[in-house]
Amino acid sequence: MNLNQDILPNREISFDPILYRKDFPILNREVNGTKLVYLDNAASMQMPQVVIDSFVDYQSRFHANVHRGVHTLSQEATDKYEAVRSKIRDLIHAKSENEIIYTYGTTDALNMVASTYGRQNISTGDEILISEMEHHANIVPWYMLAKEVGAIIKVIPITDSGEINMDAYTSMLSNRTKIVAVTHVSNALGTINPVKTIAELAHQAGAIIVVDGAQAVPHAKVDVQDLNCDFYAFSAHKMCGPTGLGVLYGKFDILNSMPPYRGGGDMIKSVTFEHIIFNDVPFKFEAGTPPISQVIMFGESIDYVNNIGIDRISEYESELLSYATKRANEIEGLTIIGTAVQKASVLSFTLKGIHPHDIGTILDQSGVAVRTGHHCAQPVMDRFNVPATTRASFAFYNTFEEVDELISAIHQVKEVFG
């Protein structure tokens, strides 16, 4: 199938995904006898060879536990591991590397905030605002906290296009509001939320803001100081990195006043059976042997993405999305779920009379990998009155031809179901 030239964006060839595709060995594999078209990047992005190699290099030459020994290997491993903290600081424009806490993922990071800051500061009758488009990871920890301390969860409604209803949000804020927890980019809808404005309003009401940035960091420039968010969480594996590693950014003064999360080695300065002195921020929140190799690999992922340029990635992905949206809209019976003005490269849709799981199975037979289901955002599905959607999510290594493969596979689904 050829590109639909009429609606291809009129673009200068400033971004060539082919240059980067060769860095990703997995993109060469076949699935069900046909070339893989990987469009499930919002679930997990693939990993370039340099990042894979960095694991082998680290394990072959530098591996030891960090922050522990005086021997050479431990020192070298510690230096490499700690150097990544500054890379992450620069990636999200934090003020200090001490504001960067390594976690086991976005979910872990959000649970950390709920369990530490939450338990310390939230009590009976206090209100926590979350939006209707949150991932379960930014819903469940708050419900668990609310149940424990007697706080109240209020849900900020979203519009039919999948945007936060800002009027409703403004009217829900009061001096009872203590936490506002919102996603920067919706994994199910693609909506990019106006986090800076949401933060400003939250602060005016005396609340803090917690941002789920899992879908934002890999696709757009994030500046936590400009956004003025109090906490910002994201995962490594959604940006060419390994699973098992996430990041929690928090403003230093807030982190410094928080109790620790898990107890164990490395998060303490001294332990006697009578008295324990906790370590300083950020180590206070990093008990036990951390995911050392994952951190070092993620350092390579950040370098890789920086070499391409996050602004160029954003721009290209937005062209891809716009092309995919136009082509999808040409398909009769296809409804796009999530039509916000500001969107990241997520195309969630339904096909009239055809269940997403049948779509997913048939697409997979054409080598096209998409996510089908509720995307860990069941309230979003309820809001749009669908049991599930099919979601194609694009990365900078996807091509316009792959969008065509997707469209052609959707036509095949329609043929099967007549």
Partner 1 sequence: MNDRMKQLYQELILDHNKNPRNFRTIDPADREALGHNPLCGDKLKLYLKINDQNVIEDVAFIGDGCAISKASASMMTTVVKGKTVEEAEELFTQFHEMSMGTLNVDTQENKLGKLTIFSGVRDLPARVKCATLPWHTLHSALHNKKEITTE
Task: Please identify every residue annotated as catalytic.
Answer: 376
Determine the straight-line distance between the first and last CA of the chain, rounded to whole angstroms. 21
φ, ψ of residue 14 in degrees (nearest 5): -100, -20
Binding segment for partner 1 (CB under 8 A), chosen from 250-258, 266-274, 302-310, 367-375, is 367-375
Q: How far is the CB of 335 from partner 1 (least distance, A)?
A: 16
Residue with tokens 């309230």: 379
Number of residues engaging partner 1 in binding (CB under 8 A): 22
- DSSP secondary structure code for residue 270 in this structure: E
Residue 408 engages partner 1 in binding (rule: CB under 8 A): no
Site string for partner 1, 377-406 (x = CB under 8 A): -x--x-----xx------------------
Question: Is residue 208 part of the contact set for partner 1 (CB under 8 A)?
Answer: no
Work out how close the CB of 356 gets to partner 1 at its nearest, in angstroms, rounded to a whole number: 8
- Pick the binder of partner 1 from 120, 225, 257, 361 (CB under 8 A): 361
- If binding is defined by CB under 8 A, does position 356 make contact with partner 1? yes
Instruction: Give the largest Cα separation in the chain, rounded.
Output: 75
Which of 156, 248, 354, 395 touches partner 1 (CB under 8 A)? 354
Q: Which is nearer to partner 1, 11 or 411 (CB)?
A: 411
Q: Quick check: 290 and 296 in contact, CB under 8 A? A: no
Give the residue from 319, 355, 349 showing the smallest Cα distance to 331. Answer: 349
DSSP code of residue 193: P
Spatial distance between the Cα atoms of 1 and 244, rounded to a whole number of angstroms: 39
Least Å from the CB of residue 16 to partner 1: 32
Written as one string, the DSSP assignment of 129-183 is EEETT--GGGTHHHHHHHHHHT-EEEEE-B-TTS-B-HHHHHHH--TTEEEEEEE
363 is an interface residue for partner 1 by CB under 8 A:
no
Candidate ranges 87-95, 270-278, 296-304, 357-365; the one touching partner 1 (CB under 8 A): 357-365
Residue 134 Cβ, how far from partner 1 at the closest point, in Å?
A: 18
Could you give the dihedral angle defined by the CA atoms of residues 201, 205, 211 and 217, in that order, rounded to the nearest 10 degrees? 30
Q: Does 417 help bind partner 1 (rule: CB under 8 A)?
A: yes
Q: Does 373 bind partner 1 (CB under 8 A)?
A: yes
User: Residue 366 — φ and ψ, nearest 5°?
Assistant: -95, 10
Shortest Cβ 244–partner 1 spacing (Å): 23
374, 383, 391, 414: residue in contact with partner 1 (rule CB under 8 A): 374
User: What Å distances lie between residue 218 and 41, 54, 200, 237, 301, CA to CA?
Assistant: 10, 19, 24, 9, 10
Assess 415 for contact with partner 1 (CB under 8 A).
yes
Q: Are strands 231-235 and 246-250 parallel, antiparallel or unpaired?
A: antiparallel
Does 369 participate in binding partner 1 (rule CB under 8 A)? Answer: no
> Judged by CB under 8 A, which stretch of 249-257, 274-282, 307-315, 374-382 contacts partner 1?
374-382
Q: How far is the CB of 360 from partner 1 (least distance, A)?
A: 8
Shortest Cβ 140–partner 1 spacing (Å): 14
**Would you say 173 and 201 are in contact if contact means Cβ atoms under 8 Å apart?**
yes
Q: Is 365 in the site for partner 1 (CB under 8 A)?
A: yes
Q: Is 362 a binder of partner 1 (CB under 8 A)? A: yes
x/- map, 17-56, partner 1, by CB under 8 A: ---------------xx-----------------------
Contact 318, 346 (CB under 8 A): no
Confirm or reject binding of residue 143 to partner 1 (CB under 8 A): no
Q: Find all residues with CB under 8 Å of 251, minimum gap 6, and list them.
A: 99, 230, 231
Q: Residue 412, interface with partner 1 (CB under 8 A)?
A: yes
Q: How far is the CB of 357 from partner 1 (least distance, A)?
A: 4
Residue 291 contacts partner 1 per CB under 8 A = no
Residues 6 or more apart in contact with residue 338 via CB below 8 angstroms: 161, 162, 186, 188, 189, 190, 191, 346, 348
Q: Is there binding between residue 7 and partner 1 (CB under 8 A)? A: no
Q: Cα(305)–Cα(294) distance, rounded to whole angstroms? A: 16
What is the binding site for partner 1 (CB under 8 A)? 32-33, 354-358, 361-362, 365, 372-374, 378, 381, 387-388, 412, 415-418
